[in-house]
Amino acid sequence: MMGQHETTGKNGEGNFALARTSTGPRTARGKERSKRNALKHGIFSKVAVLPGESQGEFDSLLEGLRGHFQPVGPYESTRVEILAVTQWRYRRLLIAEGAEIRAASEFVEHDEKRRQFEEATEILSSCPSGLVRKITNPEVLERCLDLLNELKDAVQQDDFNPEDDEIVLTILYGPSEEEDRKHTLFDSYLRLSMAASVTDDLREEGKFLSPEAYKKTFLDELSDEIKWLQDYKKEQTSVQSKRMKLKSQSVPDLSKMGQLLKYQIILERSMERTLSQLDRAQRTRLGQPVAPRIDVNLSSS
């Protein structure tokens, strides 16, 4: 005992020196102890856990399976560890499947927004007119709201200015000579601005209201048009959100999901085979009857 303490030293330098010169256990008892130690810590545990994964979670899974199956000897212990590794890979498969579905849903939304943007760019860059008829595109709808608010500010500040205002209204509703332009805000603008510009003599005869009254009437109609488009935008946003949700819940790329499904089948067969091997080994050790082995070969073709 005294010699041992002297060799070890205060800081454990003796043990460190012995470890460097050790060639491993030489006796049968030492070799058996070393074998059990390797089984205790898991011969596959280090290679089963990839960078970024939790070694602690894998160790907990392995210890849980050991506690359940109570393996005896290296063969049973190895079967339990193989089972733990297979379940760990199955866990990784489920994570990959979830990531594939999330990626698909994100790409669906991204692709739809890109399509809408490209469509709107083409519409707005090709001398646009009659944009209100194309408000199913969110980008075009937003541009219509911007133009109407700009027109509202201009009329409030400068009254009717047909030379500038009709350019904006043509972009929104199409040329004034178009038949389907009637009964739009453009049509109201033409009638009200003309009434506001009549001579004072006609106004004094009582046939026309003041310019301010016509201006107020137009601004009220303009505000109603803005509100209608804002309500449409809210409804469109709600519908679009529900549509994207349904698309994101659909099955992603079938080729990738098919590969994951094949991998899942492989893992499930591996687990079944390992469980069968473990069951037979434990029944044999306990002297219990063992069912005859059945080999089933399944083809995925």
Segment 248-270 mean pLDDT: 79
Q: Are residues 61 and 145 in the same domain?
A: no
Instruction: Give domain status of residue 22, yes or no.
Output: no
Instruction: Give domain status of residue 17, yes or no.
Output: no
Distance separating alpha carbons of residues 205 and 116, to the nearest angstrom: 54
CB 165 within 8 A of CB 141: no
Instruction: Give domain status of residue 180, yes or no.
Output: yes
pLDDT band at 22 (very low <50, low <70, confident <90, very high): very low
Q: Are residues 192 and 232 in the same domain?
A: yes
Q: Are residues 294 and 199 in the same domain?
A: no
pLDDT band at 78 (very low <50, low <70, confident <90, very high): very high
pLDDT the model gives residue 223: 97
Instruction: Please state which of the ranges 122-131, 136-145, 259-268 shows the lowest mean pLDDT.
Output: 122-131
Residue 277 has pLDDT above 50, yes or no: yes
Picking from 210, 229, 248, the residue at the C-terminal end of a domain is 248
Of 254 and 199, the structure prediction assigns the larger pLDDT to 199
pLDDT the model gives residue 31: 43
Segment 127-141 mean pLDDT: 87
pLDDT the model gives residue 191: 92
Q: Are residues 70 and 173 in the same domain?
A: no
Average pLDDT, the chain: 79
pLDDT the model gives residue 257: 78
pLDDT band at 179 (very low <50, low <70, confident <90, very high): low
CB 88 within 8 A of CB 46: no
Distance separating alpha carbons of residues 27 and 162, to the nearest angstrom: 107
pLDDT the model gives residue 167: 92
Q: Are residues 93 and 147 in the same domain?
A: no
Instruction: Please state which of the ranges 38-52, 251-265, 274-288 shows the lowest mean pLDDT.
Output: 38-52
If you write DSSP's letter for every residue of the chain in order, what string do you get?
Answer: -HHHHHHH-TTSHHHHHHHHH-----SHHHHHHHHHHHHHH-SSHHHHSPTTS-HHHHHHHHHHHHHHH---HHHHHHHHHHHHHHHHHHHHHHHHHHHHHHHHHHHHHHHHHHHHHHHHHHHHHS----GGGGTTSHHHHHHHHHHHHHHHHHHHHH---HHHHHHHHHHHH--TT-GGGTTSHHHHHHHHHHHHTS-HHHHHTTSS--HHHHHHHHHHHHHHHHHHHHHHHHHHHHHHHHHHHHHHTS---HHHHHHHHHHHHHHHHHHHHHHHHHHHHHHHHHT---PPP--------
Q: Are residues 122 and 258 in the same domain?
A: yes
Instruction: Give domain status of residue 15, yes or no.
Output: no
Here the contacts of 32-36 (C-beta below 8 Å, separation 24 or greater) are: 35/74
pLDDT the model gives residue 272: 94
Of 142 and 205, the structure prediction assigns the larger pLDDT to 142
Angle separating helix axes 211-248 and 138-158, nearest 10 degrees? 160
Residue 152 has pLDDT above 90, yes or no: yes
Q: Are residues 241 and 152 in the same domain?
A: yes
pTM value is 0.49
pLDDT the model gives residue 206: 77
Instruction: Give domain status of residue 5, yes or no.
Output: no
Picking from 229, 248, 267, the residue at the C-terminal end of a domain is 248
Q: Are residues 135 and 244 in the same domain?
A: yes
Instruction: Give domain status of residue 12, yes or no.
Output: no
Distance separating alpha carbons of residues 147 and 95, to the nearest angstrom: 48
Q: Could you tell me the residue range of the domain that residue 221 belongs to?
A: 129-248
pLDDT-above-70 percentage for the chain: 74
Q: Are residues 172 and 211 in the same domain?
A: yes
Q: Are residues 74 and 112 in the same domain?
A: yes
Instruction: Give domain status of residue 277, yes or no.
Output: yes
Instruction: Give domain status of residue 13, yes or no.
Output: no
Give the chain's domain count: 2
Residue 4 has pLDDT above 80, yes or no: no
Q: Are residues 45 and 75 in the same domain?
A: yes
Q: Are residues 218 and 232 in the same domain?
A: yes
